[in-house]
């Protein structure tokens, strides 16, 4: 792999590791310094590798340079002289070692997840910080994912970092008595991060998939830690695996979304489905039923190819339970599709129209589908409303195709 291809890949994989370990060493209040050292490491790699070619072990090379830059920076910086050295009470050579062992990298990233997902930070900023610090996304990539500009992203990140400093948040696992509550915040952020990818209106399909798999990676870290492995962590992992298994079948080459009933099941990723089943089984060990359990169950049944009554009855029952635990207009809307499969389209239309989700193009698109065999005129009117509200060209194109079948 040439340097131009290798460095972006390594940046995505290693940047967040270096930043996490550095923050654990010098404190979250010095996050900008950690980011600066990590960025300088990759700039040096770009310069040196561009001339001499890629080293035999690129990752080890990066770690070595990061260690040297860290030591040099702290030796000449007042932060080291005034804050770190008095606390360490040791000579530089004995105490300052950037520990980039696999164990310390894992621990540092796991602890960083809890710091980034602190409840004092707005959820939108949590996702931005997670993408930047934990996933190694560039500012342009984050702007693309949020359909905004770099200036807005930078302002959000700046405010979030200021909040971290004001709250004096430390890198480390929460106390045992706070762990469960804090874990719920972490899972919520990971869930939102996944949804940014799975339901994204961004036209960058690469970013879309990357968001999904980064969310799975972060949640996998929680599952691999004895402190954080829990039924709800496994339930969220199952949910994301099931949904991700159908990513390749959800879009045309042109980017248009493919409706569930029109997807090519042969494109579904069987490995991810099997992993999801394992995690779903592990999630059943506890006594607490969460929204992640129920959504994972719904997602599981959507990975079953056979269109049986049992499948849709199970999906409908799971939606009924989900709405009791945590009501959501979108979940209620999705339930009506299952209701149409199990009972009657007219009943589903009645239930859907009661929701009156006027600002959502999926609401009108669903009504359009339900009305096709009952009232083609009504179907056309709803598809036209959906077309008007659709936010991307891909969605508009998909709806236009449905309209053309009614002409």
pLDDT digits 0-9 by tens, 394-407 = 788 888 888 988 86
Q: What is the arithmetic mean of pLDDT over 24-37? A: 88
- Which pLDDT band, with edges at 50, 70 and 90, does 171 fall under? confident
Q: What is the arithmetic mean of pLDDT over 283-298? A: 94
Of 1-5, 90-94, 126-130, the range with the lowest mean pLDDT is: 90-94
- Which pLDDT band, with edges at 50, 70 and 90, does 82 fall under? low
In 3D space, the residue among 103, 149, 146, 150 whose CA is nearest the CA of residue 123 turns out to be: 146
- Which pLDDT band, with edges at 50, 70 and 90, does 320 fall under? very high
pLDDT at 80 (0 to 100): 52
Q: What is the arithmetic mean of pLDDT over 251-273? A: 87
- Which pLDDT band, with edges at 50, 70 and 90, does 4 fall under? confident
The separation between the first and the last C-alpha atoms of the chain, rounded to the nearest angstrom, is 52
pLDDT digits 0-9 by tens, 117-139 = 888 888 878 888 888 888 888 88
Per domain, the residue ranges of the chain are 1-100, 102-221, 358-407
Task: Give yes or no for a contact between 123 and 189, defined as CB atoms under 8 angstroms apart.
Answer: yes
More confident residue, 116 or 245: 245
Q: How many Å apart are CA 96 and CA 171, to the nearest integer?
A: 17
Other residues' Cβ atoms within 10 Å of the Cβ of residue 306: 7
pLDDT at 140 (0 to 100): 84
Q: Quick one: CA torsion of 101, 104, 106, 109, rounded to 10 degrees? A: -120
Q: What is the arithmetic mean of pLDDT over 147-171? A: 86
Q: Tell me: pLDDT of 383 over 90.
A: yes
Q: What is the arithmetic mean of pLDDT over 86-102? A: 62
Q: Tell me: pLDDT of 169 over 90.
A: no
pLDDT at 203 (0 to 100): 63
Q: What is the arithmetic mean of pLDDT over 282-291? A: 92
pLDDT at 30 (0 to 100): 85
In 3D space, the residue among 392, 387, 141, 406 whose CA is nearest the CA of residue 252 turns out to be: 392
Quote the pTM value. Answer: 0.87
Over pLDDT 90: what percentage of the chain? 52
208: which 2 tokens? 């879309």
Q: How many Å apart are CA 59 and CA 74, to the nearest integer?
A: 22
Q: How many Å apart are CA 296 and CA 298, to the nearest integer?
A: 5
pLDDT digits 0-9 by tens, 199-233 = 876 666 655 788 899 999 999 999 999 999 999 99
Q: Tell me: pLDDT of 94 over 60.
A: no
Whole-number average pLDDT of the chain: 88
Q: Tell me: pLDDT of 6 over 50.
A: yes
Q: What is the arithmetic mean of pLDDT over 184-206? A: 82
Sequence-ordered list of residues with C-beta below 8 angstroms from that of 32, at least 6 positions apart, any chain: 161
| 3-state per-residue secondary structure call for the chain | CCHHHHHHHHHHHHHHHHHHHHHHHHCHHHHHHHHHHHHHHHHHHHHHHHHHCCCCCHHHHHHHHHHHHHHHHHHHCHHHHHHHHHHHCCCHHHHCCCCCCHHHHHHHHHHHHHHHCCCCCCHHHHHHHHHHHHCCCCHHHHHHHCCCCHHHHHHHHHHHHHHHHHCCCCCCCCCHHHHHHHHHHHHHHHHHHHHHHHCCCCCCHHHHHHHHHHHHHHHHHHHHCCCCCCHHHHHHHHHHHHHHCCHHHCECCCCCECCHHHCCHHHCCHHHHHHHHHHHHHHCCCCCCCHHHHHHHHHHHCCCCCCCHHHHHHHHHHHHHHHHHCCCHHHHHHHHHHHHHHCCHHHHHHHHHHHCCCCCHHHHHHHHHHHCCCCHHHHHHHHHHHHHHCCCHHHHHHHHHHHHHHC
Q: Tell me: pLDDT of 336 over 90.
A: yes
Q: What is the arithmetic mean of pLDDT over 340-368? A: 92
pLDDT at 91 (0 to 100): 45
More confident residue, 206 or 274: 274
């Amino acid at each position: 792999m040439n340097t131009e291809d290798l460095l972006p890949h390594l940046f995505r994989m290693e940047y967040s590791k270096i930043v996490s370990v550095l923050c654990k060493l010098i404190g979250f209040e010095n996050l900008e310094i950690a980011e600066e050292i990590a960025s300088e490491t990759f700039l040096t790699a770009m310069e040196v590798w561009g001339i001499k070619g890629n080293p035999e072990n690129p990752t080890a090379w990066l770690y070595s340079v990061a260690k040297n830059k860290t030591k040099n920076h702290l030796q000449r910086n007042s932060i080291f002289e005034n804050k770190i050295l008095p606390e360490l009470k040791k000579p530089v050579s004995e105490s300052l070692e950037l520990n980039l062992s696999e164990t310390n990298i894992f621990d540092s990233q796991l602890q960083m997840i809890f710091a980034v997902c602190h409840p004092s930070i707005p959820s939108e900023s949590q996702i931005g910080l997670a993408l930047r610090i934990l996933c190694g996304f560039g500012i342009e990539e984050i702007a693309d994912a949020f359909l905004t500009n770099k200036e807005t992203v930078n302002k959000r990140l700046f405010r979030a970092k200021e909040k971290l400093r004001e709250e004096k948040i430390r890198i480390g696992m929460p106390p045992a008595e706070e762990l469960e509550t804090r874990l719920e915040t972490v899972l919520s952020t990971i869930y939102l991060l996944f949804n940014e990818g799975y339901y994204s209106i961004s036209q960058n399909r690469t970013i879309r998939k990357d968001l999904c798999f980064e969310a799975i990676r972060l949640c996998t870290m929680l599952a691999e830690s004895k402190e954080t492995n829990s039924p709800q962590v496994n339930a969220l992992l199952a949910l994301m695996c099931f949904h991700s298994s159908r990513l390749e079948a959800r879009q045309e080459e042109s980017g248009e979304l493919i409706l569930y009933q029109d997807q090519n099941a042969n494109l579904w990723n069987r490995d991810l489905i099997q992993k999801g089943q394992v995690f779903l089984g592990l999630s059943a060990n506890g006594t607490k039923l969460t929204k992640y359990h129920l959504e994972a169950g719904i997602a599981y049944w959507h990975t079953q190819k056979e269109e049986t009554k049992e499948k849709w009855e199970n999906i409908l029952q799971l939606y009924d339970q989900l709405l009791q635990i945590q009501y959501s207009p979108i979940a209620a809307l999705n339930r009506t599709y299952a209701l149409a499969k199990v009972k009657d389209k007219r009943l589903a239309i009645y239930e859907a129209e009661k929701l009156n989700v006027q600002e959502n193009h999926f609401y009108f698109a669903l009504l359009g589908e339900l009305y096709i065999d009952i009232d083609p005129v009504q179907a056309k009117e709803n598809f036209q409303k959906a077309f008007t509200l659709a936010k991307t060209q891909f969605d508009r194109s998909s709806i236009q195709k449905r309209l053309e079948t009614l002409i």
